[in-house]
Structure 1
Amino acid sequence: MTSLILGQTLAFTADPFATDLTDAVVHHRHGAVAVEDGRIVATGPADRLRADYPGAKVTDHGQNLILPGFVDAHVHYPQTAIIASWGKRLIDWLNTYTFPEEARFGDPAYAGEIANRYLDLALAHGTTSACSFATIHPASVDAVFEAAATRDMAIWAGKTCMDRNAPDTLRDTAQSAYDDSAALLSKWHGAGRARYVITPRFAPTSTPDQLSALGALWSENPDCMMQTHLSEQTDEIAWVRDLFPDARDYLDTYETHGLLGERGLYGHSIHLTDREKDRLSDVGAAVIHCPTSNTFIGSGLFDMGMTARMRVGLATDTGGGSSFSMLRTMAAAYEVAQLRGTALHPAQLLYLATEGSARALMADDIGRLTPGAMADLVVLDLASTDAIAQRQAQADDLWEAVFPTIMMGDDRAVAQTYVAGRPMKSGLSRSG
């Protein structure tokens, strides 16, 4: 049966970082999305789609704004319970909070509890897909993929591999990292909406042998993504220099071991050298901007100028990031760009949180409001609080109406979240 979801609709037809807004966006003030079997089959003016699908079930969201569901391109779901832990620098933060919490994921029941908690929080904030690090425990990977499957969510995830500079309870070996990752990849990659991601945590916690083993696994499975961290903090970069004295720079520690490629996702990427930017651009890799994390842990200010050279995704970086909300993440991205002299347009922020992150993941069926894409949607109430409503009431155009929600919105602004056309929040829509 066809379903019609009505409201204002906003879709991207081009990259707003590369194209004039008039050519990059289609907005229908009275729009509709037609859904069949979990996929979008048509979008356009509501009157036209009502006529085209006369027997459809209709859900009317009034003047709320329908967008593609948010895509969070870099998270650590096992850090859900320690989000917003008081201020340490990166290495201290890992040792004080992250590693003790991740050690608990040897218990499959606990892993399942947190995986379900994380996905419920993500959906409440309008996030319909995420790319997550797990822990070294294979059960932590099973947990998040199993939890996602019950919700029909598209999830990218992988076993986090570490064989040095971590507690004994969180170390594997070069061989076990390869073997565990290969087995999990075989089990999950392409199973429903699950996609496996080869996952060395970062160069300091992997020996050269482990990096090479994971590079070999990637070469054997080139359709997989690979995710890691790159140049997050200056003291981290100095540590990498000490650990890899023969490397030209941080990125070279990955490239030398077969971990640089088009399907690579390099989280943070704040303090890059010109050579590193050139190499990332040359191979077509993606960098992932984690603005709330970068400010919360004091890492630095990401350079949005890289959007002209490579794919850029946007991410909360739960739990180094201080919010589950992609709205808050967009607001932080705006603030960081301002500090670097660039005022990001609301369209660019929404693009980063939807199609931009989907492009980073090389996924063409999410992050888009277009026929053929999965009907993963977020519906935003543009007057969700008194503070937002009084500003939105003064808006002269769509962007003035949307921007207050980007800057001040939270889960209260999410009127509904749809996954494969199925509403995931109850009691917030009216049908007719």
Structure 2
Amino acid sequence: MHAYRASLLRFSPEGEALFDDDGLLVTAPDQAGVQRVLAAGPHREVAARHPQAAVTHWPGRILAPGFIDMHVHYPQTDIIGAPADGLLPWLEHYTFPAEARFADPAHAAEVASFFLDELQRHGVTTALTFCTSHPASVDAFFTEAQRRRLRMMGGKVLQDRHSPDGVRDETEQSLIDTEALIRRWHGQGRLGYAITPRFAPTSSEAQLRGAGELAARHSDTWIHSHVAENKDEVRWVRALFPQARSYLDVYQGFGLMRERAVYAHCIHFDDTDRQLMRETGAAAAVSPTSNLFLGSGFFDYAGAERIGMRHGLASDVGGGTSFSPFHTMLAAYYVGREGQTKPGLSLPPSRLWWNATGGAARALGLAGVVGTLQPGTEADVVVLNPQATPLLARKTARAQSLEELLFSLIVLGDDRVVERVLVA
């Protein structure tokens, strides 16, 4: 049993932010050796119930749930900030050449280790990531994540057409490889497999159909892809799949819409698309730094909330420009201003933080597992220093409410705020 005393930020299962100036978090291992939250709340109350727990005291610090990144590409770590005219030229000139190198297991292993170092340095303890079309990239990612006992999901990219040599796979073999990887990695420790068609244009109908069949056979896996990110891409999909009502409808037609199906971007949607997301339980991974960087458009937060479409935040590195959840939350705040019709903040700070923790967990089908620090959840915890920089210290000392404190951290925070990370 472990107990940690500091200020404590946690969330109710419904997303209400709970804050204790003097809090106590008590954890204990389950049968698998994973530390879970036993109790969390005001120090005076929790300590009285657990007098036997030895306490580690971090005065002036904030304990909070580990951040969750709903969509990121670990093989694109080295192409952050690559200049391009837009999504499709960026893929052609930077992404595909970089990903071709992941046929080499040694390269894949080196990048996987660096990538997970960066996630943890920024306080990210759970992520849903693209690998590449090479099985070696998946093995490298999961091997390193398992060594660190992280909760991570990922999968081999499926792309059997409209892709250059070096990343294009073969239809039947790609599906055989995917099923073998599911059997090897899914459910091993804290790992989960994601069936990963890159996006509709780069998969044949046969490959998409096979992916849907795998998703039906392995119903507790994730599905991970892109949809409606860029207007040129949307036009391309319309030409390739003229029978589909919309880009999103392509995936529905191949059995790729269900709980634990996560689609990045979801920008160029109408309400029918949003209703389909809600009805199937699929979720949007909102990637504001990427969308701003590539000029793709603005996610409609108001539309998602109005329809009840699940969504959470994502870095989308390397289209995204930072691993930092603080940068992602701030970009989401900017984007939320687009089309805003009511006075006030576009997205309240506590809602932004929820979308990077417990809300992202719920969208991923991991409600009650991570993201809230509620009793029974896995104890992935970040220790935050609200005095990490002189300006931040000055600002947070003047905060008159929890919303002001969280907004100060979002606007001025970066990896220097994350003092340590406790995994499981």
TM-score scaled by length of structure 2: 0.95
- Bigger shift: residues 35-44 or 192-201: 35-44
Is contact 1:7–1:64 with CA below 8 Å preserved after alignment? yes
- Bigger shift: residues 49-58 or 153-162: 49-58
Measured after TM superposition, the shift of residue 402 of structure 1 is 2.1
Is contact 1:382–1:402 with CA below 8 Å preserved after alignment? no
1:388 aligns with 2:392: yes
Q: What is the match of residue 235 of structure 1?
A: 232
1:102 aligns with 2:99: yes
Measured after TM superposition, the shift of residue 346 of structure 1 is 0.9
The C-alpha deviation readout for 1:272-295, integer Å capped at 9, x for no partner, is: 123212211221211110010010
The C-alpha deviation readout for 1:310-352, integer Å capped at 9, x for no partner, is: 2111100011100000111001001110123161111101100
Is contact 1:177–1:214 with CA below 8 Å preserved after alignment? no
Measured after TM superposition, the shift of residue 381 of structure 1 is 1.3
Is contact 1:358–1:366 with CA below 8 Å preserved after alignment? yes
Is contact 1:14–1:25 with CA below 8 Å preserved after alignment? no
Which blocks of at least 5 consecutive residues in structure 2 are unaligned? 30-34
Paired residue type of 1:263: R
Is contact 2:350–2:406 with CA below 8 Å preserved after alignment? no
Give the share of equivalent positions with the same residue, in percent. Answer: 44
SS of match in other structure, 1:168: coil
Name which of 406, 415, 419 aligns with 1:415: 419
In the alignment, the residues of structure 2 paired with residue 394 and residue 147 of structure 1 have an alpha-carbon distance, to the nearest angstrom, of 42
The C-alpha deviation readout for 1:27-58, integer Å capped at 9, x for no partner, is: 11100111112111111222333343334332
Paired residue type of 1:307: E
In the alignment, the residues of structure 1 paired with residue 174 and residue 362 of structure 2 have an alpha-carbon distance, to the nearest angstrom, of 28
Q: What is the match of residue 76 of structure 2?
A: 79
SS of match in other structure, 2:78: helix
In the alignment, the residues of structure 2 paired with residue 100 and residue 265 of structure 1 have an alpha-carbon distance, to the nearest angstrom, of 25
TM-score scaled by length of structure 1: 0.93
Is contact 2:86–2:295 with CA below 8 Å preserved after alignment? yes
SS of match in other structure, 1:339: coil
Q: What is the match of residue 334 of structure 2?
A: 335
Q: What is the match of residue 20 of structure 1?
A: none
Paired residue type of 1:347: S
The C-alpha deviation readout for 1:38-83, integer Å capped at 9, x for no partner, is: 1111112223333433343322221222111001010001111111
The aligned runs of 1:133-148 (5 Å cut-off) are: 133-148=130-145
The C-alpha deviation readout for 1:184-237, integer Å capped at 9, x for no partner, is: 001111010010010000001001111001111111111111010000011110
1:348 aligns with 2:351: yes
Measured after TM superposition, the shift of residue 14 of structure 1 is 4.4
Paired residue type of 2:305: T
Measured after TM superposition, the shift of residue 256 of structure 1 is 1.3
The aligned runs of 1:183-198 (5 Å cut-off) are: 183-198=180-195
Is contact 2:382–2:420 with CA below 8 Å preserved after alignment? yes
The C-alpha deviation readout for 1:353-406, integer Å capped at 9, x for no partner, is: 001111111013111211111110112211211222222222112221221111
In the alignment, the residues of structure 2 paired with residue 128 and residue 57 of structure 1 have an alpha-carbon distance, to the nearest angstrom, of 25
In the alignment, the residues of structure 2 paired with residue 33 and residue 307 of structure 1 have an alpha-carbon distance, to the nearest angstrom, of 32
In the alignment, the residues of structure 2 paired with residue 187 and residue 9 of structure 1 have an alpha-carbon distance, to the nearest angstrom, of 38
In the alignment, the residues of structure 2 paired with residue 94 and residue 286 of structure 1 have an alpha-carbon distance, to the nearest angstrom, of 24
SS of match in other structure, 1:169: coil
In the alignment, the residues of structure 2 paired with residue 87 and residue 388 of structure 1 have an alpha-carbon distance, to the nearest angstrom, of 34
SS of match in other structure, 2:356: helix
1:321 aligns with 2:313: no
1:26 aligns with 2:29: no
Paired residue type of 2:87: L
In the alignment, the residues of structure 2 paired with residue 265 and residue 212 of structure 1 have an alpha-carbon distance, to the nearest angstrom, of 17
Which blocks of at least 5 consecutive residues in structure 1 are unaligned? 17-23, 421-432
Paired residue type of 1:295: L
Q: Cα RMSD over matched residues?
A: 1.3
SS of match in other structure, 1:396: coil
Name which of 224, 242, 247 aligns with 2:244: 247
